[in-house]
Chains A and B, each alone.
Chain A
Amino acid sequence: MTTSETVSGELVVTAGARAPTGTRPAAGAYLKATAANRRAARDLRPDFGSRVLFYCAFELVVRRRFRCDSPVAEIARSVAAAARRHAPVVVPALEAEMLIRDALGEAVPIEEIPLDAIVTTHLLVFASLVDELALSDDEVDALIAEAEDRAEALGHG
């Protein structure tokens, strides 16, 4: 994942691609740090299993935040908020919106989205929606645990 640190201290999840580990606990901890807006204990290069976990967590929080028929404008506002919240990292607006709508079950054009844009969107929109929903630490833990279960059920735990 392309990484950077924020100047304002908003985003502290970033870590370079220096430490080549991507185990499930590391990915879960990375997600939690993202949501809590603090620095992850270790760098993470998301392997396939980690990316599946990120997707599962993203899908869960998206479905908690939006209904299938939520206005697209409302989704776009949340994407814009995520982009503002993590300003030094580029959140691709339309791609992020499409990934959210895809997670809601809509048939949308999501082919050819670069992998780094997908991972960035999953992580940063997850963090932003957790904030929009005002989830407590315990609720975030439960959400990540549920995502880990889903990832495991998919064979990527």
Chain B
Amino acid sequence: MGGTGQSGSPGALILRALEDDCPAVALVRLPRSPRLVRLLGQLFLVALRRCFAAHDTREITGYVYGLLTWLDLPPRGLLARQSEAVIRAALGEPALATGIGLVRRHEIVCIVVGDLARPPGPGRAELEALVAQAQQRIARLDQRDVRTPRRRRR
């Protein structure tokens, strides 16, 4: 797993994109390597759980409305429902996002992760800590996979 300090590592690319004027667009434009997509996915999960775990679902609806309004995107239509579905899927309702394609899911992940940098924003140190936590989750998931290899099909 590349650390955030290496300039071409997924973590560094994400942190750089978060410094862009339009972080969501910058994230979408990053090369979609499997490592980067995976790190973005975990960062999405970490950020959401820190913000919304144990919160009322209605707060997610309100958050999505505010986010899309902030980005000048339609806040009451399909994108809003898909965004809520992807967020709630990550928080434990996976069935909600089953009909949403991978590209759209990735775009929504980028929109939400990009929102971490919305002013006033948490600051570089906290963003680095979030990315590090996401990387740690990936490392732990990989360790778990090594410890419990999937049974081979005959």
Q: Which residues of A contact B (CB under 8 A)?
A: 71-73, 76, 93-95, 98, 101, 106-112
Residues of B23-68 whose CB lies within 8 A of A: 56-58, 61, 64-65
Q: CA A101 – CA B56 in complex, angstroms?
A: 14
Residues on the A chain within 8 Å of B75, using CB: 109
B93 close to chain A: CB less than 8 A: yes
Asked if A109 and B56 make an inter-chain contact with CB atoms under 8 angstroms apart, the answer reads no
Residues on the A chain within 8 Å of B80, using CB: 109
**Interface range for B:** 10 to 19
User: Given A72-B56, A72-B58, A112-B78, are A93 and B96 neighbors across the interface (CB < 8 Å)?
Assistant: yes
Query: Nearest chain A CB to B3's CB is how many angstroms away?
Result: 38
Residues on the A chain within 8 Å of B124, using CB: none
Q: CA A71 – CA B78 in complex, angstroms?
A: 23
Specify which of A94, A101, A111 is in contact with B77 (CB 8 Å cutoff). Answer: A111
Asked if B81 and A107 make an inter-chain contact with CB atoms under 8 angstroms apart, the answer reads no
B5 close to chain A: CB less than 8 A: no
Q: CA A108 – CA B77 in complex, angstroms?
A: 9
Specify which of A95, A106, A111 is in contact with B76 (CB 8 Å cutoff). Answer: A111
Query: Nearest chain A CB to B79's CB is how many angstroms away?
Result: 8
Q: Which residues of B contact A (CB under 8 A)?
A: 56-58, 61, 64-65, 74-78, 80-81, 84-85, 93, 95-96
Asked if B57 and A109 make an inter-chain contact with CB atoms under 8 angstroms apart, the answer reads no
- Could you show 12 A-B contacts with beta carbons less than 8 Å apart? A71-B56, A71-B57, A72-B57, A73-B57, A93-B95, A98-B81, A101-B61, A106-B58, A109-B61, A109-B75, A109-B84, A112-B78
Residues on the B chain within 8 Å of A93, using CB: 95-96
Which of A72, A101, A109, A110 has the largest number of chain B CB atoms within 10 A?
Answer: A109
Q: Which A-chain residue is minimally distant from B85 (CB atoms)?
A: A94
User: Given A109-B65, A109-B76, are A95 and B81 neighbors across the interface (CB < 8 Å)?
Assistant: yes
Asked if B77 and A112 make an inter-chain contact with CB atoms under 8 angstroms apart, the answer reads yes
Asked if A111 and B74 make an inter-chain contact with CB atoms under 8 angstroms apart, the answer reads yes
Residues on the B chain within 8 Å of A108, using CB: 61, 76
User: Given A76-B93, A93-B95, are A110 and B76 neighbors across the interface (CB < 8 Å)?
Assistant: yes
Residues on the B chain within 8 Å of A98, using CB: 81
Q: Which B-chain residue is minimally distant from A114 (CB atoms)?
A: B78
Which of B56, B65, B81 has the largest number of chain A CB atoms within 10 A?
Answer: B81
Q: CA A108 – CA B80 in complex, angstroms?
A: 9
Asked if A94 and B84 make an inter-chain contact with CB atoms under 8 angstroms apart, the answer reads yes
